[in-house]
Amino acid sequence: MKLVGLLVMLALAVVGVDALADLTQNRPDAVVDGTTTVVAFDVGTRDYNGTDIEAANALWAVCAATVSGTTTAPQEAAAGGFEVTISPAIGNNGHKRLVGCLEDGTLDRVQGHVASVTSMD
């Protein structure tokens, strides 16, 4: 009985580690020329020594390194927040890395909130 329990635990551990590896895997995405991705995000600051656009620029300067391609500087969007354009478009792995960086505690006193990530042909 104890052996069965041990085997079940071992199997669960293997499955869990494999699932976690799949979920956190990182690999290059397929590049499709002529496509773009628009990322809309906002920043929240607390006692930050600067304006929101400065905070957005600082955050983007750090997180732009998680994706490949050409990126623009954050521009204030009409609906509020900021937008950046990445070309060519990022894939699923790039999407995870970018959103994770923007919404993580990457910068002190600056918190990013991703509103949307839209890829276009």
Partner 1 sequence: MSTRALRTLLGGVTLAASGAYTFIYLYRWEWNRALMSAAIFVAAEVAVMGSLLAQRLKVVTERLDKMESPTPAQTVRLERIRSSAPPPRPTFAWLARPEQMNVFVPVLMGAGVLLSGIAWVVERLARATVTPVAERGLAAQLDGLALPAHGFATAERAPLDLLRGPVASRP
Chain residues in the site for partner 1 (CB under 8 A): 20, 23-24, 96-97, 99-101, 103-106
The minimum distance between CB 58 and partner 1, in angstroms, equals 15
Is the sign of the CA dihedral 57, 62, 66, 67 positive or negative?
A: positive
The minimum distance between CB 98 and partner 1, in angstroms, equals 9
The minimum distance between CB 101 and partner 1, in angstroms, equals 7
Residue 32 · residue 25 · CB < 8 Å: no
Nearer to partner 1, 99 or 115 (CB): 99
| Residue among 66, 61, 72, 63 at smallest CA distance from 38 | 72
